[in-house]
Amino acid sequence: MSTQFIINDLKASVEGKEILKGINLEIKGGEIHAIMGPNGTGKSTLASALMGHPKYEVTDGTAHLNGEDILEMEVDERARAGMFLAMQYPSEITGVTNADFLRSAINARREEGNEISLIKFIRQMEGKMKELEMNPEFAHRYLNEGFSGGEKKRNEILQMMLLDPKLVILDEIDSGLDIDALRIVSNGVNAMRSEDRGFLVITHYQRLLNYIKPDFVHVMMQGRIVKSGGPELAERLENEGYDWVKEELGIVDETVGQA
Amino acid sequence: MAKSMPEMEEYKYGFRDEHKAIFQSGKGLTPEIVRTISEMKGEPEFMLNFRLKSLEQFNKMPMPQWGGNMDDLDFNDIQYYVKPSEKQGKTWEEVPAEIKETFDKLGIPEAEQKFLAGVSAQYESEVVYHSMQEDLAKQGVIFTDTDTALREHPELFQEYFGTVIPPADNKFAALNSAVWSGGSFIYVPKGVQCEIPLQAYFRINSENMGQFERTLIIADEGSFVHYVEGCTAPVYSTNSLHSAVVEIIVKKDARVRYTTIQNWAPNIYNLVTKRAVAEENATMEWVDGNIGSKLTMKYPAVVLKGRGAKGMVLSIAVAGKGQHQDAGAKMIHLAPDTTSTIVSKSISKHGGKVTYRGLASFGRNSEGSKANIKCDTLILDNESTSDTIPYNEIMNDNITLEHEATVSKVSEDQLFYLMSRGLTEDEATQMIVMGFIEPFTKELPMEYAVEMNRLIKFEMEGSIG
């Protein structure tokens, strides 16, 4: 069955303040949707709320992944249902090696007694690390501890590749990446494009979208998607900035704060 | 989807087997009981006198007014000596079936099959099973229970016994000195390196019974030995007392590592005195894991007596519901150029309480010495607490003392991160906790590291939510 992800009128608050004011979006397997927008418009909140970060309270709306409302689920259940969020600021966990963590995450998706064999796991992990041009020693480093920004992002993509999710959210995966790293990370994402996987790519910059070609581009302002279009929309934003969108829609302040 | 999870209150090693003791001293502590213990063991006069003097000392000394709450501890409600069977087993086959079953449950035979140099398993107060690898014996290493050592190596025994921790050291050392039974005795001759850790398994089985083992390790010049003990105990409703004394002498250029994992039932008072003396360029390392018990008071110490001596304490303490871990370390720098390291990791959960209590002492002659202390606490919920109580005594200006303490909670972002990859909240918490104590776990021999991780997993199940 091809993946289908439908967000319907999603509203969410942080500490009682409403940030998302009704998001509607439909992503089908094989599609890449990009969400663009200036700072403070609610892009990252959308990513975190969909994954279930406890700081964000969903006050209204639904989000169905292949017919199941993921908003009813715990964070780990969402993950096992096929959601994956590549984070802007991945946590560091001291004392836990990357390899141990990855293996636990893979096994969390498998029945007890059917855990991945160590050999198979190592082969998979090493293969993907090679694709991402990661130094093999990162397998034995503590999870994200002392990683540079770019290394963390690669590590997020490594996890995505090994966990084989159905709906991938990339939250500013391009921030802090140099051109080489951006190319490597994008290649990793492109290699994962398939009919049964949808992508939601959140970014400030059109630059990323030169590497990861979106099918749809959405602009977020004031906690809503205010404009949608094809790849040409991203190009226009790159060339002309956001002011024309604001003018067109009569928006003075695009951030959520003043709404 | 949900995996079945044991109740927190259910203690994993809380089984007990039918138990037939040959002799039980009855409850309470009197000179007559001390005499009986000594007589049953066929001890020489000097030991009987040592015990009786120690008992006097014990009776004279007040209860400590610091540390944990010992109000429920009734010395008259404790059985001081139980002798479980007539003779000590030499081979596994000779060990009584019932006792063997208990060991089976604890996994001793597997351990035996692995790298064991010698197993000295303590069943109640008496060592019933003891074996030793031949090449160790050939090297002149003595590894036996302390009672046997008193009989077979009286000169060595008398030279060192009670020299590091005299009976008057503290009330519980005095108690142990009066009623001690069992424990391990190790002598490693000059220059001998024991490649394989020597291990002992201790276990309390009789209700209301105190276990007062007495361990004495002497590492002669230039030698090395790693001694390992692990501990599990069954659940009982009434309070049980464990009060051990461990004395270690590390001679010039020698190195001793002493690894303990103690996993006590929640009703045990675990009041232990552990101290080592390190001579010139000697190294003493305590690796000390404390899980469970009602109250643990334990501060492994190293007296850095010779120039260039090194001391290390690496410890973890886990306190759950109704438990108090009052643990730490003492480093006493008496000579120049001595160095010490303390790494303490504490975890409190379900209203548990952890206290780090440590002493760094620098004497007049401790010129050029260094101490580095690092205490980290991880608190898993809002009911649990932690305290850090460092004492410093500095009599020399030319020393370096570094102290670093952190208290942290499992962070929301860390949990979210791990859960967003599919780990349950329990699994994510376990992973963070295991990572927290990893500096400890990685120092353990392989099979103990596995055991330790299993214990921690079990302890952490259901910790949150």
What's the pLDDT tens digit per position in B225-277? 999 886 554 444 455 888 999 999 999 999 999 998 887 878 889 999 999 99
User: Is the CB of residue A87 less than 8 Å away from at least one CB of chain B?
Assistant: yes
List chain A residues with CB under 8 Å of B435. 93-96, 142-143
Partner residue opposite B427 with nearest CB, options A51, A93, A108: A108
Average pLDDT over residues A93-122: 93
Q: What is the mean pLDDT of chain B?
A: 82
Contact between A190 and A157 (Cβ < 8 Å): no
CA-based nearest distance A117→chain B, Å: 18
Confidence tier at B7 by pLDDT (50, 70, 90): very low
What are the tokens at A203?
A: 């970014």
**Are the Cβ atoms of A104 and B423 closer than 8 angstroms?**
yes
Residues of B in contact with A171 (CB under 8 A): none
User: Distance from B305 to chain A by nearest Cα, in Å?
Assistant: 34
How far is Cα B13 from Cα B17, in angstroms, rounded to an integer? Answer: 11
Chain B residues touching A90 at Cβ < 8 A = 417
The shortest C-alpha distance from B229 to chain A (Å) reads 24
- Contact list in A for residue B420 (CB cut-off 8 A) is 51-52, 75-76, 78-79, 83-85, 87
Q: CA of A253 to nearest chain B CA: how many angstroms apart?
A: 30
Q: How many CB pairs under 8 A join A and B?
A: 82
pLDDT one-digit tens code per residue, A130-167: 999 999 999 999 999 999 999 999 999 999 999 999 99
Asked if A163 is an interface residue toward chain B (Cβ–Cβ < 8 A), one would say yes
Q: Do A95 and B421 touch (CB under 8 A)?
A: no
pLDDT tens per residue, range B46-70: 999 999 999 999 999 999 888 888 8
**CB contact A75 to B (< 8 Å):** yes
Chain B: residue whose CA lies nearest to A50 = B420
Instruction: Tell me the C-alpha distance between A182 and A205, whole Å.
Output: 12
| Cβ within 8 Å, pair A93-B431 | yes
Do B413 and A91 lie within an 8 Å CB cutoff?
A: yes
Among chain B residues, the shortest Cα distance to A92 is held by: B414
- CA A91 → CA A149, A153, B72, distances in Å? 12, 11, 44
Task: Give A-chain residues touching B444 at CB under 8 angstroms.
Answer: none
CB contact under 8 A, B434 and A112: no
Do residue B419 and residue A90 have CB atoms under 8 angstroms apart? no
Q: Does A3 touch chain B (CB under 8 A)?
A: no
3-state secondary structure of B148: helix
Cα(A52)–Cα(B417) distance, rounded to whole angstroms? 10
| Confidence band for B209, pLDDT divided at 50, 70 and 90 | very low
ipTM over 0.85: yes
Residue B389 has a CB neighbour count (10 Å cut-off) of 14
Whether chain B has a CB inside 8 Å of the CB on A50: the answer is no
pLDDT, residue B196, reads: 79
pLDDT of residue B189: 97
Residue B136: per-residue pLDDT: 77
Selecting from B412, B418, B421 the residue whose C-beta is nearest the C-beta of A163 gives B421
**From CA B227, how far away is CA B196, in angstroms rounded?**
9
Distance in angstroms (rounded) separating the CA atoms of residues A86 and A168: 8
Residues of A within 8 A of B411 (CB-CB) are: 91
pLDDT(A66) > 80: yes
B141-195: per-residue pLDDT in tens?
A: 998 888 889 999 999 999 999 999 999 999 999 999 999 988 889 999 999 999 8
Tell me the average pLDDT across A202-227: 93
Give me the pLDDT at residue B241, please. 87
pLDDT grade for B97, boundaries at 50, 70 and 90: low
Cα gap B313→A43, rounded to integer Å: 49
Return the pLDDT at B292.
83
- Alpha-carbon distance of A26 to B202, in angstroms, equals 63
Chain centroid, CA B14 distance in Å? 20
Choose, out of B314, B414, B419, the residue to mutate when testing the contact with A (most A CBs < 10 Å): B419
Phi (first) and psi of residue A181, to 5 degrees: -65, -35
Looking only at the bridges linking them, the beta strands covering B324-333 and B295-298 are parallel
Please provide the DSSP assignment of A172-220 as one string: STTTT--HHHHHHHHHHHHHT-BTTBEEEEEES-THHHHHS--SEEEEE
Contact B417/A90, CB-based, under 8 Å? yes
Measure CA A72 to chain center.
20
Mean pLDDT of A185-196: 93
pLDDT at B182: 82
Q: How far apart are CA B131 and CA B90, in angstroms?
A: 6
Q: What average pLDDT score do residues A174-192 get?
A: 90
Looking at mean pLDDT, say which of B391-400, B435-444, B456-465 comes out highest. Answer: B391-400
Q: What does the pLDDT read at residue B98?
A: 55
Task: Spell B132-158 as b/e; 16+ CB within 10 A means b.
Answer: bbeebeeeebbbbbbbbbbeeeeebbe
Nearest in space to B194 (alpha carbons), one of B139, B134, B258, B155: B139
Which residues are paired to A35 by β-bridges? A202, A218
Burial A28-56 (b: 16+ CB within 10 A, else e): ebebbbbbbbbebbbbbbbbbbbbbbeeb
CB contact under 8 A, B420 and A79: yes
Q: Which residues of B lie inside 8 Å of A (Cβ-Cβ)?
A: 3, 411-414, 416-425, 427-428, 431-432, 434-439
Query: Which chain A residues in 132-151 lie under 8 Å from chain B, judged by CB atoms?
Result: 142-143
Alpha carbon B104 to its chain's center: 22
Of A79, A94, A142, the CB nearest to B419: A79
* Secondary structure letter of residue B165 according to DSSP: S
CB contact under 8 A, A96 and B427: no
Global pTM exceeds 0.90: no
- SS3 of B355-405: the string is EEEEEEEECCCCCCCEEEEEEEEEECCCCCEEEEEEEEEECCCCCEEEEEE
Q: How far is A235 from chain B (nearest CA, A)?
A: 33
* Domain assignments of chain B as residue spans, ordered by start: 12-224, 411-465
Cβ distance of A93 and B438 shorter than 8 Å: no
What residues in A contact B425, CB-CB < 8 Å? 74, 76
Min Cα distance A159 → chain B (Å) is: 8
| B423/A108 CB distance under 8 A | yes
Q: How far apart are CA A129 and CA A158, in angstroms?
A: 7
The arrangement of secondary structure in A4-94+165-249, i.e. its CATH architecture, is 3-Layer(aba) Sandwich (3.40)
Distance (Å) from the alpha carbon of B2 to chain A's nearest alpha carbon: 11
Which residues of chain B neighbour A146 with C-beta distances below 8 Å?
none
Q: Per-residue confidence at B213, pLDDT binned at 50, 70, 90?
A: confident
Task: Work out the pLDDT band at B125, boundaries 50, 70, 90.
Answer: very low
Does A93 sit within 8 Å of B417, measured CB to CB?
A: yes
pLDDT at B167: 96
pLDDT surpasses 60 at B135: yes
Q: Name the percent of chain B in helix, strand, coil, to the closest 5.
A: 25, 35, 40
**Chain B positions in Cβ-Cβ contact with residue A91 (cut-off 8 Å):** 411, 413-414, 416-418
